[in-house]
Amino acid sequence: MQKNPFLPVTKEDMLRRGWDAPDFVYVVGEAYVDHPSFGHAIISRILEQAGYKVAMLCLPDWHTCEEFKRFGRPRLGFLVTAGVIDSMVNHYTAARRRRHDDVYAPGGQGGMRPDRAVTVYANRIHEAYPGAPVLIGGVEASLRRFSHYDYWDDKVRRSVLVDSAATILMYGMGEKSILECAAWLRDGMPQEALSAIRGICYMAKTPPAGIDMLPSHDEIVKDKKAYARSVMQEYNEADPIRGHALCQQQDTQRYVVQNPPSLLLTTAELDAVYALPYTRQYHPMYEAQGGVPALNEVRFSISAVRGCYGACAFCALTFHQGRIIQSRSEESLLAEAKMLTKFPDFKGYIHDVGGPTANFRQPSCQKQLKHGCCPNRQCLFPKPCPNLTVTHKDFLQTLRKMRQLPGVKKVFIRSGLRFDYIMADPQREQVLKELCKYHISGQMKVAPEHISDNVLPMMGKPCNAVFEQFGALYAKTNDKLGMKQYLVPYLMSSHPGSTLQDAVDLALYLKSKRVQPEQVQDFYPTPGTISTAMYYTGIDPRTMKPVYVPRTQKEKDMQRALLQWKNPKNHPMIREALRQCGREDLIGFGPHCLVPPGNDSQQRQHRKYSK
């Protein structure tokens, strides 16, 4: 009988392998997809390679604890993750409206995982097997490791360690910490050894001697300035080279202790992670339901890098993957590309070669590898650092070799490209020429996010003049190539710092450029970001100065409507926004106007909406 290439998902699978019990039961809030774009695939394969027996319990019924008993009590413990996306972000829009679909579930079916999945799963495990070790990790756990503002409850919640009563929280990327934690469990869980495991948090009754203390939970609940200071301290210590251990009091007898972050993976170590024997498929048990939609986006994509030193204020990546780039070797990337060409459904198109930022292929400067990231400045914002290493040589060389492989027709870049990094490159014209000629399919998507120089500093984005220069060069490049390709900007409404007038200015800019965005992202206050701290406190943690925050749903809806000014459904709301800003001159039929005057039926419809 041919060996099942997937890890066990039922007790029968486990028994066929000759196991009487697994070492770990891995509880996952998404479908089982054995592809390295899914964290549970990487962690389970790393444990398997190290000789541990791992059973996969994906999307269990959480209403009782019965499914958590499927494999019996594991020898070492349970691993718990909500999946590659936070369960609350997965379930709710920025307007807190419930989403109906879930691309990470079989057939895209919504509702198969609970809200706050990490906490719910952990508590069901405690019911099923009191005293069993529970290790939590992934984005949801990582970004909630300290007391944090929770947008959905609109309050500051304690660390997820408190709510889940987990044994250990693994934060960041877990390839190294999972093996250290597994060894710690195997050795009998010696309490004195916990402080030596990097990349974890745990609960203690007293703070370790000499540790850096964060403001307590009670302090940050009572004082928003204390919250802002706490977030900045957490941000500055989230560095694998210079980061210190941190401690935060949760209540009278419990403290969260965070050890320093895990050390960076070397290129050879990262190559080894992606060379593990993934099937790159969803488990066959989902076939009858139509598979797992999320796999379609990444099936023929290649992850080349981790980390991002762009450090946008609204992005949680800095707090999870870190600011220092870790990259795979060219040999590893080409080997994966060759492997993709062997799949029977490969049509010749590699959909993406990238990561958080595709054109970051190395640390921003050599100093980072010795001293870590600078605590008081960014690499690209507000202007590129003089020490920044700017080159696309390795990036383009790898793409050239990849597109020359037999069976490869086209290699696309769909990950984010930092246009300010391209503009900082003395070879920018050649870089853009090659990207436009070979790696774009009609559109280049970039993320200026806004055009107001009042808003962009709050986002940690370059001034609008840089985007204007890039847009002009992009148009010139395509003209020279004789290609008709478009620049598609990602835009965000209602970010802290954005007033209604700023949204009007953005709408006028879009009209002048004849850009009609079909999708606009409302700012979403997710745990662990500088922007979320601004939203909650009204303070920029980087400067401790006040910042304007659009708070009411009405204003958020008006800002969003302005960005989609062409849509007739938005016209009543836009007229109200323009009157509120004193810009009635933009209502009418003139060439400078955004919307026509309203009629009585439109006014009645808008009043009904407002109620």
Nearest to 305 by CA among 398, 375, 428: 398
pLDDT at 120: 98
pLDDT at 139: 96
Contacts of 356 by beta carbon, 8 Å cutoff, 6+ apart: 305, 306, 307, 308, 310, 317, 321, 415, 416
- Rounded CA-CA distance 542/384 in Å is 18
- Rounded CA-CA distance 310/366 in Å is 16
CA dihedral 553, 555, 560, 561 (to 10 degrees): 110
Contacts of 50 by beta carbon, 8 Å cutoff, 6+ apart: 179, 182
pLDDT digits (tens, 9 = 90+) for 143-173: 999 999 999 999 999 999 999 999 999 999 9
Q: What is the 3-state secondary structure (H, E, C) of 322-339?
A: CCCCEECCHHHHHHHHHH
- Rounded CA-CA distance 136/167 in Å is 8
- Rounded CA-CA distance 102/91 in Å is 8
| Torsional class of 83: left (φ above 0), alpha (ψ -120 to 50), beta (otherwise) | left
- DSSP assignment of 109-131 equals BSSSS-TTHHHHHHHHHHHHSTT
The architecture CATH gives domain 300-441: 2-Layer Sandwich (3.30)
Burial of 381 (C-beta count, 10 Å sphere; 0-12/13-18/19+): buried
Domain 11-203 bears CATH identifier 3.40.50.10800? no
| Cis, bond preceding 74 (omega within 30 deg of 0) | no
- Rounded CA-CA distance 238/232 in Å is 10
Are β-strands 486-493 and 443-449 bridged in parallel, bridged antiparallel, or unpaired?
parallel
Say if 11-203 and 300-441 have the same CATH topology. no
Q: What is the 3-state secondary structure (H, E, C) of 242-307?
A: CCCCEEEEEECCEEEEECCCCCCCCHHHHHHHHCCCCCCCECHHHHHHCCCHHHHHHCCEEECEEC
Q: How many residues does the chain have?
A: 611
pLDDT at 318: 77
pLDDT digits (tens, 9 = 90+) for 400-433: 999 999 999 999 999 889 999 999 999 999 999 9
Nearest to 574 by CA among 582, 583, 565: 565
Give the CATH fold of the 444-611 domain. Answer: Transcription Regulator spoIIAA (3.30.750)
pLDDT at 402: 98
Domain segments of the chain as ranges: 11-203, 300-441, 444-611
Q: Which residues of the chain have pLDDT under 70?
A: 1-3, 599-611
Nearest to 232 by CA among 607, 585, 447, 541: 541
212: how many CB neighbours lie within 10 A of its CB?
13
**Radius of gyration for the chain, computed over Cα atoms and rounded to the nearest angstrom:** 25
pLDDT at 133: 98
